[in-house]
């Protein structure tokens, strides 16, 4: 008998990550030693950061840092307990009140991470006779919630509302229905068809939950997200958002009707059985929300940077997608071509994400960029030059349409 426990057998049968490491094409877990809002130092090289979700560039804002420091000294380094027991601070409640007002919803509930927010809320709401409807490109926090939730899950092809309508029609009489969708799809950078989804939800008596992680601070009047972007605040029942992107912290929030949130507060295991969001993070989030509202010009700069980057990438013959949001997925080619382009960019001090299967089909792998308000024109121009060099050398077919 082998000494290796059987449960470990899988760890030697899949060596893709080790293979990628051995040929220098491994893009994950690179430790950052120091950072600014638009650059990160890895080893002794400063790289332009195009892989963060720091859309408004608030991670190093003096007001945010000051608020974190003050909270650290007033409340200590950790909440040391669950929201339910000893972990709720007055700051959590202040943040909930601010976010309920921001989203024009009656109530808000703050969780320790965005991931836990969807997980906890969806699992708490779904009963044995209920059906959860998911877009195939929904974020993992919704997909994983479906595994925890009671009831059935139905997944519809990305954005295929005709198919969703057919599936809703098939639901047994009396089944509770919850549609959960990303507001902005994080790999595509595209915006969900909320007008279509709210209409379907209403027709079929379904509730609609929108994961607005990438829309907070980016879309809509005041940066209040996808529902505000479409003027559909009242039609979207529940909005979930994270503090780990535009708000430069960590944590998540669910907003919606008071009675629904009261239920979630007392039934969400991902809220009750984990420590509360730490004091410095709550204070930092509150300060970031202040800055978001006081400095709307940050959003203007974010969009200007997004347009500049997308236009320049198109000008050299690349396809950065529709640029509906600051997420630009640049289609390159197969896995190896795209990985070599990623590596060339990394060596040229440009930090971007490599997107490969199963996230995307094998022949349309991508380099994913996300812009911040703090990128300078000079940085954007330098990144585009690096792209041109990398793609010309490693994936010239990606430039085929440009005639360059």
> What is the four-CA torsion angle of 139, 141, 145, 146, rounded to 10 degrees?
20
Chain residues in the site for ligand PMP (CB under 6 A)? 113-115, 139, 141, 182, 186, 211, 213-214, 242, 244, 252
353 among known catalytic residues? no
Please, what sign has the CA dihedral across residues 321, 119, 77, 109?
A: positive
Helices (H) and strands (E) in the chain, counts: 15, 16
User: Which token pair is 193?
Assistant: 């068809």
Nearer to ligand PMP, 252 or 279 (CB): 252
CA dist 313 and 317 (Å) reads: 7
2 among known catalytic residues? no
Provide, rounded to whole angstroms, the least separation between the CB of residue 370 and ligand PMP.
10
Nearer to ligand PMP, 78 or 317 (CB): 78
DSSP 222: G
Nearer to ligand PMP, 115 or 133 (CB): 115
Q: Strand 152-156 relative to strand 184-185: parallel, antiparallel, unpaired?
A: unpaired
245 among known catalytic residues? yes
Integer CA distances (angstroms), 264 to 48, 143, 202, 256, 274, in order: 41, 18, 22, 11, 15
Q: Which of 52, 186, 281, 370 is catalytic?
A: 186
Q: Which of 245, 353, 375, 394 is catalytic?
A: 245
Which residues share a beta bridge with 330?
367
Provide, rounded to whole angstroms, the least separation between the CB of residue 340 and ligand PMP.
26
Nearer to ligand PMP, 244 or 331 (CB): 244
Q: Which of 105, 139, 177, 214 is catalytic?
A: 214
Provide, rounded to whole angstroms, the least separation between the CB of residue 341 and ligand PMP.
23
* 212 in Cβ contact with 226 (< 8 Å): yes
* 181 in Cβ contact with 210 (< 8 Å): yes
Provide, rounded to whole angstroms, the least separation between the CB of residue 214 and ligand PMP.
6
Nearer to ligand PMP, 170 or 269 (CB): 269
Provide, rounded to whole angstroms, the least separation between the CB of residue 277 and ligand PMP.
10
- Could you tell me which of 331, 289, 292 has the C-alpha nearest to residue 313? 331
Burial class of 122 by CB neighbour count within 10 A (0 to 12, 13 to 18, 19+): buried
* 171 in Cβ contact with 243 (< 8 Å): no
Q: Which residue is nearest to ligand PMP (CB)?
A: 114
Active site residues: 186, 214, 245
């Amino acid at each position: 008998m082998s000494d290796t426990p059987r449960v470990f057998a899988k760890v030697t049968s899949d060596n893709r990550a080790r293979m990628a490491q051995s040929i220098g094409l491994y893009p994950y877990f690179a430790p950052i030693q120091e950072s600014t809002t638009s650059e990160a130092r890895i080893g002794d090289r400063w790289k332009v950061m195009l892989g963060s979700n720091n859309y408004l560039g608030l991670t190093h804002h003096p007001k945010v840092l000051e608020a974190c420091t003050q909270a650290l000294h007033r409340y200590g380094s950790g909440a040391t307990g669950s929201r339910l027991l000893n972990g709720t601070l007055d700051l959590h409640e202040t943040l909930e009140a601010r976010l309920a007002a921001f989203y024009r919803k009656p109530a808000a509930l703050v969780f320790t991470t965005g991931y836990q927010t969807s997980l906890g809320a969806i699992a708490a709401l779904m009963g044995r006779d209920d059906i959860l409807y998911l877009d195939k490109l929904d974020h993992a926090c919704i997909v994983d919630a479906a595994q925890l939730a009671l009831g059935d899950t139905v997944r519809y092809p990305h954005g295929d509302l005709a198919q969703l309508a057919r599936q809703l029609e098939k639901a047994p009489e009396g089944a509770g229905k919850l549609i959960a969708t990303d507001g902005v799809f994080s790999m595509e950078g595209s915006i969900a068809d909320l007008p279509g989804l709210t209409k379907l939800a209403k027709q079929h008596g379904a509730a609609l939950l929108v994961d607005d992680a990438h829309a907070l601070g980016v879309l809509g009047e005041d940066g209040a997200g996808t529902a505000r972007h479409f003027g559909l605040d009242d039609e979207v029942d529940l909005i979930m958002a994270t503090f780990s992107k535009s708000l430069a912290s960590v944590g998540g929030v669910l907003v919606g009707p008071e009675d629904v949130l009261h239920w979630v507060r007392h039934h969400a295991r991902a809220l009750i059985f984990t420590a509360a969001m730490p004091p410095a993070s709550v204070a930092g989030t509150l300060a970031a929300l202040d800055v978001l509202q006081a400095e709307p010009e940050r959003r203007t700069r974010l969009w200007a940077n997004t347009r500049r980057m997308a236009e320049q990438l198109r000008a050299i013959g690349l396809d950065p997608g529709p640029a509906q949001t600051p997420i630009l997925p640049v289609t390159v080619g197969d896995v190896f071509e795209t990985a070599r382009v990623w590596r060339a960019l990394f060596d040229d001090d440009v930090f971007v994400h490599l997107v490969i299967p199963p996230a995307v089909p094998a022949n349309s792998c991508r380099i994913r960029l996300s812009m911040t308000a703090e990128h300078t024109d000079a940085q954007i121009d330098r990144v585009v030059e690096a792209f041109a060099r990398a793609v010309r050398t490693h994936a010239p077919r990606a430039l085929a349409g440009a005639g360059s």
